Amino acid sequence: MAEEALWTRARLGRCGPPLDLLTASFRRHVYAPHAHDEYTIGVCVGGSEVIDYRGGHIRTGPGTIVVLEPGEMHTGGPGTTTDGYAYRALYAEPSLLADGTLGGLPHFREPLLDDPELATTLRVTHTELSACPDPLETESRLPWLLTALACRHSTARVPTDPVPGGDHIAHVVRDRLADELTAPPSLALLAADLGLSRYQLLRAFRTTMGIPPYAWLAQHRVSKARGLLEAGLRPAEVAGLVGFADQAHLTRWFRRVLGVTPAAYRNSVQDS
């Protein structure tokens, strides 16, 4: 296991606040005692790490989640002399976890969590956002995921009452995203315009549309891309015109929605 760490800075919406993602793999590295202003949320993906925290020792293993609260001192190092440790971590401002919950800042009595479903979702989300940190995708996925984490494992409670006017809210958001295809507004801005929290907007949209905002917009972009490909434009040109970060991002979503690459689709419709 090599000694390597990669930081990726994502943003929560266009021009929104940053959120850092860490991909780390260490054989011998030992952290000095330190604390973060944010919640540190990590999932172990290999080996074992021993973390000194709250006067005790936490031993991670593959698939375990660790939550370290803001301002709390901790260290970390390899759990064995042979295997090292690897993990994915994100650093979330406290407001991100409080936005969708009731009862103040979530408190995690137990820092080590055994939740295979949530661990898998955290790992996959971290990997995909690190590869292509799209602002709207980050803002759609992470607040929802962090609220689920707080709901399952902290002292916080999540509101269950329906968001009043949810259908109208979802349609307003949908139309704004469609109108501003290449530079969509942040969900925080849309929520403020509607007098809502970001989590309320996400709840209303997902309940009405069945998918989160970034997924709806990606499918709408694919629909627009089809027309441009049919007109003879190349995938590299089309990606920017419909708002995707690059051709790879267009290809990823085009295959998800239609099962073929943009190039294959263009060739097939041109041949016919």
pLDDT band at 272 (very low <50, low <70, confident <90, very high): low
pLDDT of residue 100: 87
Per-residue pLDDT reduced to its tens digit, 121-131: 999 999 999 99
- Cβ-proximal residues to 124 (8 Å cutoff; 6+ apart), any chain: none
| Cα Rg of the chain (Å, integer) | 21
Token digits for 91? 């650093």
DSSP structural state of residue 102:
B
Per-residue pLDDT reduced to its tens digit, 151-206: 999 999 888 888 999 999 999 999 999 999 999 999 999 999 999 999 999 999 99
Per-residue pLDDT reduced to its tens digit, 4-29: 999 999 999 998 999 999 999 999 99
- Assess whether 174 and 261 both reside in one domain: no
Average pLDDT score over residue span 69-84? 94
CATH code for position 229? 1.10.10.60
Per-residue pLDDT reduced to its tens digit, 52-63: 999 999 999 999
Residue 129 lies in a domain: yes
pLDDT of residue 144: 93
Average pLDDT score over residue span 88-113? 93
CATH code for position 85? 2.60.120.280
Pair 1, 46: CB distance under 8 Å? yes
pLDDT of residue 271: 66
Residue 26 lies in a domain: yes
- Assess whether 149 and 23 both reside in one domain: yes
Number of compact structural domains in the chain: 3
- Residue 160's identity, in one-letter code, is T
Print the domain residue range for 27. Answer: 4-153
pLDDT band at 237 (very low <50, low <70, confident <90, very high): very high
Segments in the chain forming alpha helices (H): 94-98, 116-131, 135-153, 166-179, 187-193, 198-209, 213-230, 235-241, 247-258, 262-271
- Assess whether 39 and 108 both reside in one domain: yes
Average pLDDT score over residue span 206-231? 96
pTM of the complete model: 0.90
Residue 216 pLDDT exceeds 80? yes
Beta-bridged to residue 34, according to DSSP, are 74
How far apart are the C-alpha atoms of 90 and 92, rounded to whole Å? Answer: 6
- Assess whether 26 and 144 both reside in one domain: yes
- Assess whether 133 and 36 both reside in one domain: yes
Beta-bridged to residue 46, according to DSSP, are 86
- Assess whether 81 and 204 both reside in one domain: no
